[in-house]
Amino acid sequence: MANKKIGFIGLGIMGKPMSKNLLKAGYDVTVFDIVQAAVDEVVAAGAKAASSPKDVAAQTDIIITMLPNSPHVKKAVLGEGGVIEGAKPGALVADMSSIAPLAAKEVAAKLAEKGVRMLDAPVSGGEPKAIDGTLSIMVGGAQADFDEALPIFKCVGASAVLCGDVGAGNVTKLANQIVVALNIAAVSEAFTLATKVGVDPALVFDAIKGGLAGSTVMNAKGSMMLDRNIKPGFRINLHIKDMANVLETAHDVGVPLPLSAGVMEIMQALKVDDLGDADHSAIVRYYEKLAKVEVARK
């Protein structure tokens, strides 16, 4: 039985299964979310409920946050009733949200003033890998803090890599999101072209997935495109958030990213078409609209 007490703040699409996996591993988990139904579900699986992020931090040794974006993390950690008010000196905060690297550094600096350590540890893999505990975790922070958190990370992820100091985890996640978004767009273009020419895109998929064009992204999202399944594992609105952080960070340091800017506008167009809550595989719908075809298995 694991002996460290873990706090978990944020029980959304990702946080809920992640917290359940920690419970399955034998950890004592105390949770908080603004959605009571999510709290009730995880409590039914064995967790304890807290009344606020401050309350979570006061009862636990390691506090995990899994929230939508930088403002939410700042509020939960640094705001009134936040983690910083309840955390004991020496506690460790692992922010597993995907936020701007500069925001991660800002939160870490404020926590350090109170003697609280921090890792930024965003994840990749979406809801399916959150459920089966095989997320990829990209971490920024001190080696000793990473080593302490690694057994916990292994309960929710298949891999965890320390990429540098605090902020490096989110830089790595931004790089990940660029590759994922552009890969989905490339698969969408390929399937749309095949469909328009009259070739079954499912056969194209089968023919190329084992070659150089094959990828984890194509296997997961190409199948969804062919099944016309846009139920979110990862919502377009969340990828828009990540790409906004990509472009802001890139512009701050003087790195032009023309392809990232282009796919951001594709996702913005889908949002206008009321597909913001669809899975990011719905990028194919943008190309379907342009080409006046419907990508599907024949």
Tell me the catalytic residues: 173
Cβ–Cβ under 8 Å, residues 235 and 280: yes
Distance from C-alpha of 291 to C-alpha of 260, rounded to nearest angstrom: 22
Which residues are CB-contacts of 152 (< 8 A; sequence separation ≥ 6)? 4, 6, 22, 27, 62, 64, 94
Q: Are 280 and 260 in contact (CB under 8 A)?
A: no
Q: How far is CA 131 from CA 57, 126, 150, in A?
A: 25, 9, 19
Joined tokens for residue 206: 């089968």
- Calpha distance 193→197 (Å, rounded): 6
Nearest to 103 by CA among 136, 64, 74, 125: 74
Residue-wise over 109-128: b if at least 16 C-beta within 10 A, else e?
Answer: ebbeeeebbbbbbbbbbbbe
- Per the listing, tokens 């978004």 go with 181
Q: What does the alpha-carbon distance between residue 72 and residue 254 come to, in Å, rounded to a whole number?
A: 27
